[in-house]
Amino acid sequence: MRRIVENKVSATLHVFEGRCHCGAVGFTLRTSREPAQWAVRACQCGFCRGHGVRTTTDPDGSVTFRIPDASKLKRYRFGTGSTDFLICRDCGVYVAALISSGRGQFATVNINTIREPLNAPAPEAVSYDEESVEQRQARRERVWTPVAEAV
């Protein structure tokens, strides 16, 4: 479901609802950008390619996760171990990735989990193999979407 709302500074916010296939793990993305303006990425690591993931972020937006039953959430870490990949334990869908730092939590969401048709650009194939763990953390804090309520 997509809604358009006005925030306190009168900027238009676009609200998108996403969820796994069975609905156990969901999110609300609030962004000032229309889908056609999103930077859509297709990470080229084996995990993301295997899941067919297309992600986006908005450092000026926010994301709130809905996980009514915490036992349905699988947090998966691999590689550097710096990121939690949020996966539904029941249906296996990768919904988002999440980092936690001294500045808060930041996420990137899988736009394939948004249930309405999107006019989003084709994803850019990206690889982050050359980044150090510190560079990766700093980039994510800078460009990922702030999480409104800790997960």
pLDDT digits (tens, 9 = 90+) for 67-94: 999 999 999 998 888 899 999 999 999 9
CATH tag, 2-146? 2.170.150.70
What is residue 69's predicted lDDT score, i.e. its pLDDT? Answer: 97
CA distance 49 to 37: 23
Our CA angle for 76, 115, 94, nearest 5°, is: 10
Stretches where the chain sits below pLDDT 70 are 1-11
Q: Where are the domains of the chain?
A: 2-146
What is residue 59's predicted lDDT score, i.e. its pLDDT? Answer: 96
* Mode of pairing for the β-strands spanning 41-43 and 124-126: parallel
Which candidate, 145, 144, 113, 117, places its Cα nearest to that of 24?
113
CA distance 146 to 58: 8
